[in-house]
Structure 1
């Protein structure tokens, strides 16, 4: 690998290495590249990954997409999901929540629903000046007052002004600068699969509570397949570290007696692309160490339960990129980034009391009570569909920065 700092005329161009090419990484590259930085993104996979489940962009996250000029490109990749239906063992509807329209009302299905991989592809396409290094990863970080030297699995070493770690909740690279375990576990595991679409699959998101702290879901995509999810609560640690065959065995045993579409999902485990994870939140006392900074899920994952992680990733990338480009020095920029974003993250990470146990009942009595509550809430929304809901995504005002 060649050096990373370059001169254009007599002006020295600042440089940044970003680890992770999912959401926060390309978004950060966009903002810094637009302001003249030399941007490099390293990704351990060999390509931009097009897999991934449904994610949504809400409130302030949509405003970030507008300012990036990609809102219509994201809208064109919409999964066309119509809303959320809770169903019983026979597939009969328990309660129905149509998708939100515009920014005015909250719903489980946002107006902008997109597959994670498709959003990554849109953001990647809007960073034409960024150098992408696929199939490699950071193995060491040595920083001083003037910069950071990054070592790579490929054997190279490069020098940068700043390094940003834009990886997932269980980021390996984060440990290089922030040792220790910074994950608040929620005692839940999730399996995500892509399975063949059948004639009975429509454009609704279906959620079935199976009892014994288990849930199953089916969601539409815009690629001709169906996205399936299995969730279960367990205080046993390390199931996500098992090999794929062992994880499949755990899932089959856990859901063996579940009904609805669960047997169909279990039948697909041997052949369907599957991602298995423990669900949690990233909780760190600080997001930067001198010239190394965290952004996205590596910094502040709010968990899939919150529905806020993608919005946080886009917002964090916007604030971090513009602060680095406009502040007088990196220390001021990183301090401003955390000062501005931390209150927003704290609100987004506050899950409803009893989460995730209340949404995954143990016995029949709990399940009956939950379904009654869902019917009541659905009825209220049906008679007051325009009632606005205050959500964390609406409680942050994007700072304005000088034009690039």
Structure 2
């Protein structure tokens, strides 16, 4: 089939990897002028790790992995109140720091490099509109160019333009904002000090405000500013208006303590600042006709679950697997509807469990204290949890939420004739070269 993927992020690149490996003609369009390798640290958990291994990319992933060893909570004086090491055993649930931590840009580059040469990437354009007719999708791109495809996939994130087109101009969007939860991301220059370890550090301030620092290099620290707020200034700041967002956050974080002044100053100067409203994307169906969604565009679980990257990687694997299973006959277009239906049926039980309760509960932010006394109590509780070596990640993240669901095996999800497509064609090229000589 000729497949168009809108979005060259994690889910889009992962899907391009599998579909191009199956021999489909894959075109990926990205509105950004190049591979958008921005973003801070992300991780893989549970079945996301299994998919990475089935892609044969674990070694390459680990070569670029962020060297984070654990997670600590400090008080206003900087004193450690709790510490949770990463699970480096290779077994069981991940801790708050996963054994598979990586910068978003590094994972994007890794997936793109693994797909380069098999899929075609077109940067600086996007889907303007599309129309289904005569068993194909006719797409008009920004700039006026048109082309036809057998399948169009929206992998363009939680604010997906493809999803809005698929649902129709009069339909409400499927994106739900989560109770005034905001997270700002940026990096600040800060050379590593002698004896400093690569440990993520969280500080909880009164007023449902938090600061989170992660070091991924000797020269730079990642900063996360997370809060729950009904501030008119924050709510009124237009998404993407960095000046207004920075001003609103600077005002909201006044007097928060610890290293807030230093961090707010760095935020004002940061050119990689990004402020996100925490959202959930929930749809009754991820496909309509020959258009489907993958990753955050179809089922963003929100960063509060810790499962966003995993869901995108697993969803792409299952969608490609069902296409392999249903569209492998003489006419590859015959049962696309069956493939998209099976993708929904097979993956929805997983996503239902990951997203369960997220719309009514904002995870760790719903537990954030409003008073200094509450912060003190919470720090004591975290210290006790740490001392008893209990798994804090189970309380806040959703890795352990998925029960009675198993990632489809590669052999059933990808027929052998498809899995070995690349190896087979490589052997043919070698034989042709030998014959010519």
- Output the TM-score relative to the length of structure 1: 0.91
Structure 1 residues 287 and 301 mapped into 2: Cα distance closer, same or farther (>3 Å)?
Answer: same
Counterpart for residue 374 of structure 1 = 382
Question: In terms of mean alpha carbon deviation, does 225-234 or 391-400 score higher?
Answer: 391-400
Structure 1 residues 175 and 378 mapped into 2: Cα distance closer, same or farther (>3 Å)?
Answer: same
Counterpart for residue 331 of structure 1 = 337
Shift of 1:366: 2.3
Distance 1:70 1:344 in 2: 23
Counterpart for residue 426 of structure 2 = none
Shift of 1:27: 0.5
Q: Which runs of 5+ in 1 are unaligned?
A: 1-13
Counterpart for residue 34 of structure 2 = 47
Structure 1 residues 370 and 350 mapped into 2: Cα distance closer, same or farther (>3 Å)?
Answer: farther
Q: Secondary structure at the match of 2:363?
A: coil
Shift of 1:379: 1.6
Structure 1 residues 374 and 18 mapped into 2: Cα distance closer, same or farther (>3 Å)?
Answer: same
Distance 1:239 1:131 in 2: 37
Question: In terms of mean alpha carbon deviation, does 347-356 or 105-114 score higher?
Answer: 347-356
Q: How does 1:53-72 map to 2 (within 5 A)?
A: 53-72=40-59
Question: In terms of mean alpha carbon deviation, does 198-207 or 269-278 score higher?
Answer: 198-207
Distance 1:53 1:356 in 2: 20
Q: Structure 1 residue 277 and structure 2 residue 307: aligned? A: no
Q: How does 1:111-260 map to 2 (within 5 A)?
A: 111-128=99-116, 129-144=118-133, 146-179=135-168, 180-186=172-178, 187-200=180-193, 202-222=197-217, 224-235=219-230, 237-241=235-239, 243-260=241-258
Counterpart for residue 347 of structure 1 = 353
Counterpart for residue 408 of structure 2 = 399
Shift of 1:383: 11
Larger radius of gyration: 2
Q: Which runs of 5+ in 2 are unaligned?
A: 328-334, 393-397, 419-437
Shift of 1:393: 6.3
Structure 1 residues 163 and 223 mapped into 2: Cα distance closer, same or farther (>3 Å)?
Answer: farther
Structure 1 residues 250 and 77 mapped into 2: Cα distance closer, same or farther (>3 Å)?
Answer: same
Shift of 1:376: 1.9
Q: Secondary structure at the match of 2:316?
A: helix
> Larger helix proportion, structure 1 or 2?
2
- Output the TM-score relative to the length of structure 2: 0.84
Aligned residues: 387
Tell me the C-alpha RMSD between the 2 structures: 2.1
Which of 97, 101, 119 is 1:109 aligned to? 97
Distance 2:362 2:313 in 1: 28
Q: Secondary structure at the match of 2:304?
A: coil
Counterpart for residue 97 of structure 1 = 84
